[in-house]
Homo-oligomer: A and B are copies of this chain.
Amino acid sequence: MKIGIIGSGVVGQTLGKKLAELGHDVVLGTRDPGKLDEKKNMAGSLREWLAQVKDKARVATFAEAASHGELLVNATHGQVSLAALEMAGAAKAGSKTLIDAANELDFSRGMPPAVLASQERCLAEKIQAAFPNLKVVKTLNTIAATVMVDPKALQGGDHTLFMAGDDQAAKAQVAGLLKAFGWTDILDLGNIAQARGMEMYLALWVRLYGSLQNGFINVKVVR
């Protein structure tokens, strides 16, 4: 499948590499594709990323990623997601599924970061309202990037991935991708308004991270 990723940080690089390995045709969208060496993070620079994925994927602008993908991924920081999707021309991208993996976190007040999601503020809902042509599916925002593409990385047993979105076919399409990552317990919470549950949960996740000093964590829903 042709996949366009908006955002080239740790999440974008990690998802992009895994999707390319799975045989998908990936374009990783970044704000300024000329800065392959400057865009460096925990996952490495974009030049290193290109070397890893070899000829299976390429780096381009947000707009090229958005027009390339049959399926899109929002892998930007939540606080700039709307602006990045605007810059990508997402409103003119046609009817496509968009996986929204982002969170609105404010690190300016120290750790743990402030989670800005609330009953009144849901990023996925804002994206769906701003880009009604997209079929937004919120998922993957509740775990660290390495766990997103390798759920077996956690030693402590099976754990749960949540999703929410208005379009059933888009959710089924996304669930197919997630199963290819190794996810077995995927729980559909309902329409896009339910995404606030996954976004507000981050306030617990950042504290689990703080207490356990480890990003290799998730929760299993036990019944």
> Which residues of A are interface residues toward B (Cβ below 8 A)?
106, 112, 114-119, 154-160, 162, 187-190, 194, 196-198, 200-201, 203-208, 210-212, 214, 216-223
Residues in chain B near residue A190, CB distance under 8 A? 207, 210-211
Given known A-B contacts A119-B114, A200-B203, A222 and B159 have beta carbons under 8 A apart: yes
Expressed in whole angstroms, the minimum distance between the Cβ of A219 and any Cβ of chain B is 4
The quantity of this chain's copies bound in the complex is: 2
Q: A200 is contacted by which of B188, B200, B220 (Cβ under 8 Å)?
A: B200
Compute how far the CA of A157 lies from the CA of B220 in the bound complex, rounded to whole angstroms. 10
Q: Are B218 and A222 in contact (CB under 8 A)?
A: yes
Some 7 contacts from A to B, beta carbons below 8 A apart, are A116-B119, A118-B118, A156-B222, A197-B207, A218-B222, A219-B221, A220-B222
Compute how far the CA of A205 lies from the CA of B201 in the bound complex, rounded to whole angstroms. 9
Q: Are A187 and B211 in contact (CB under 8 A)?
A: yes
Q: Are B200 and A204 in contact (CB under 8 A)?
A: yes
Q: Are B201 and A204 in contact (CB under 8 A)?
A: yes
Compute how far the CA of A27 lies from the CA of B154 in the bound complex, rounded to whole angstroms. 45
Expressed in whole angstroms, the minimum distance between the Cβ of A168 and any Cβ of chain B is 14
Q: A206 is contacted by which of B197, B207, B220, B221 (Cβ under 8 Å)?
A: B197
Residue of B nearest to A198 (CB): B204
